[in-house]
Amino acid sequence: MTAAPQIVVVTGLSGAGRSTALRVLEDAGFFCVDNLPPALAPDLLSLAHHQGKLERVGLGIDVRTGAFLNGAEQTLSALEREGHEVQVIFLDCADDVLVRRFSETRRPHALARDGDLHGAIAGERERVAGLRARADIVIDTTELNVHDLRRHLIDYIRRDTEHPSMVVRLLSFGFKYGIPAHADLVLDLRFLPNPHFVEALRPKTGMDPEVSKYVLDAPQTQEFLRRLRPLLDFSLPQHAREGKAYLTVAFGCTGGRHRSVAIAEELGRQLGSAHEVVVSHRDSERAPS
């Protein structure tokens, strides 16, 4: 008897990246169906199970299904009772960013029949609130580009389901561009020596060896890292035990090009042997000013 297919449900707000997420699942070998009325999911999975050909199935569920969206959570619970492994990924995003995305793409929102995007988004949030509460992971795509979202999803679906581990995301950013909304822990590095004021280092980033050495060799940096490691060594396992799939530790400097990048890269090297670590840099490619 073949095992029941693994099911990954991608849902969330329109414009938050569901289509991108489903393409990631397809690339990972999932058979994906978008905009499937939840009530039809058992029939699809029963067929997949009895034919024994589909081991992993991705389902896209959103408000385009209209009234069929009602009862989606109950359908997913019923699938779990039948022995399916069901994971729900919910994609969220700030309202103003969703409005901008719809305006840029000129795509109509399924609920914006009178052109009121803000009202449509508010109504959608109400309709998918149950799925958000049911989600195994919520990914806020407000400040993520397509490549960041792909990395998030690839890391998540590659996790060992029998021994799941938390993914630690080390994110550098510049305070002048705002604090990342989805950061769990924010550390201010503006007290460290600033390579921006060294003419030869200014056009470079913390990825360059000269900048990294300048930042990491400073006594303040060495003391900071010495004190930070015990905090992370203690707190990261505690977050993992609480079932958190992702923890984002954000390191900020003024422009997000030098100090924060060097520190995130160094912590990535230090933590990589004990944790699943993803290092990303939000503002490192911005032109220095």
What sign does the dihedral 166-170-174-175 (CA atoms) show? positive
Statement: residue 225 has pLDDT above 90: yes
3-state secondary structure of 194: coil
Q: How far apart are CA 151 and CA 147, in angstroms?
A: 6
Residue owning tokens 């070998």: 29
Given this model, what pLDDT does residue 160 score? 45
Question: How do residues 129-143 score in pLDDT, each as one tens digit?
Answer: 888 888 888 888 888
Question: How do residues 236-286 score in pLDDT, each as one tens digit?
Answer: 988 877 656 678 999 999 999 999 999 999 999 999 888 889 899 999 988
Q: Where are the domains of the chain?
A: 6-157, 167-281
Mean local confidence (pLDDT), 58-74: 75
Question: How do residues 156-206 score in pLDDT, each as one tens digit?
Answer: 776 644 445 678 999 999 999 999 988 999 999 999 999 999 999 999 999
Q: Could you please state the CATH topology (level 3) that the domain comprising 6-157 is classified under.
A: Rossmann fold (3.40.50)
Mean pLDDT of the chain: 84
Q: Which of 3, 164, 167 is nearest to 85 (CA)?
A: 3
Q: Which of 99, 120, 118 is nearest to 110 (CA)?
A: 120
Task: Note the pTM of the prediction, 2 decimals.
Answer: 0.55
Q: How far apart are CA 149 and CA 278, in angstroms?
A: 12
- Do residues 185 and 251 lie in contact, with contact meaning Cβ atoms separated by under 8 Å? no
